[in-house]
Amino acid sequence: MPHGYPQVVPAAPLVDTHIHFRDLHERDPDFPERFAASGIQACAASHAREEFLWTEGLRSKGLEFSTSLGIHPQSPSMNHANFISEAVRQGRVDFIGEAGFDFFGDCPERVRSPENEAIQREAFEFQLELALANGLPLLIHVRKALDLIFAYSRRLARLQAAVFHSWPGTPDEAEALIRQGIPAYFSFGSIVMNGHKRAMASLAVLPADRILSETDAPWQPPRGSHFCRFEDLGRIVDSLAAVRDVGPEKLREDILATWVSIQGGAG
């Protein structure tokens, strides 16, 4: 490089800790080619055998990604438990989940009752033990049930990492999880762009090495969009940087370092 010219340092790759390729394909069938060229580091979520196999097949189209496989608390059937265990044994899974609890109350299965809680506990405990036994991070989905997460804090503290997908809680709740010794990381997406006050407050004060980014595409669209695209990730990270009052390039570097650290510790 000629003397006197500033060196141009390429921006760190964007990281999408949670994206649903199969669901996104239903709304955006042409996304795989664009994603393959994007340079994004991502974790593609699956919750059933057929979805996981379809997602794995995208690698033949040039996509590179990590995988999560688990039993979603919104559909906590144990029908795929044996397949999940076998896929983990074969080394095909990078994250367990998304596992957790959902008592948002928007349908009968998500009303908090002893019966519903027992069903969700069975699925959660299966995945927690699978993650612990195999040294894998656990991807956690929680709505209106954070007390249950705290009830498992001793076992969660033994995890390699606990990644809270689309963190909706307060700073005090996030910091309390960390104080419990849980290796907790908090992923933020378009809810910050859409003005979610608790998420924004947490994002503003959490340590830089506890923060991750996501789209949850095609779910949780930015306001005014019919669905979330993977290309929205850049705008999401810019919005996270604005809340933290740091440059987007710095935040991308920090998120990438955290992501590499989490995945490097697995196995």
Residue 3 — pLDDT band, cuts 50, 70, 90? Answer: low
pLDDT digits (tens, 9 = 90+) for 148-173: 999 999 999 999 999 999 999 999 99
- Give domain status of residue 2, yes or no: no
Does residue 7 carry a pLDDT above 80? Answer: no
- Give domain status of residue 5, yes or no: no
| DSSP states along the chain | --TTSPPPPPPPPPEEEEE-HHHHHHH-TTHHHHHHTT--EEEEEE-SHHHHHHHHHGGGGT---EEEE---TTS---TTHHHHHHHHHTT--SEEEEEEEE---SSGGGS--HHHHHHHHHHHHHHHHHHHHHT--EEEEEES-HHHHHHTHHHHTTSS-EEETT--S-HHHHHHHHHTT--EEEEE-HHHHTT-HHHHHHHHHS-GGGEEE---TTSSPPTT-SS--GGGHHHHHHHHHHHHTS-HHHHHHHHHHHHHHHHHT--
Q: What is the CATH number of the domain that holds 84?
A: 3.20.20.140
Domain limits for position 245:
22-264
pLDDT of 109 reads 84
pLDDT of 267 reads 46
Residue 108 — pLDDT band, cuts 50, 70, 90? Answer: confident
pLDDT of 8 reads 47
pLDDT digits (tens, 9 = 90+) for 58-86: 999 999 999 999 999 999 999 999 999 99
Structural domains in the chain (count): 1
- Give domain status of residue 10, yes or no: no
pTM metric for this prediction: 0.94
- Give domain status of residue 8, yes or no: no
- Give domain status of residue 130, yes or no: yes
For the chain, give the percent of residues with pLDDT over 70. Answer: 95
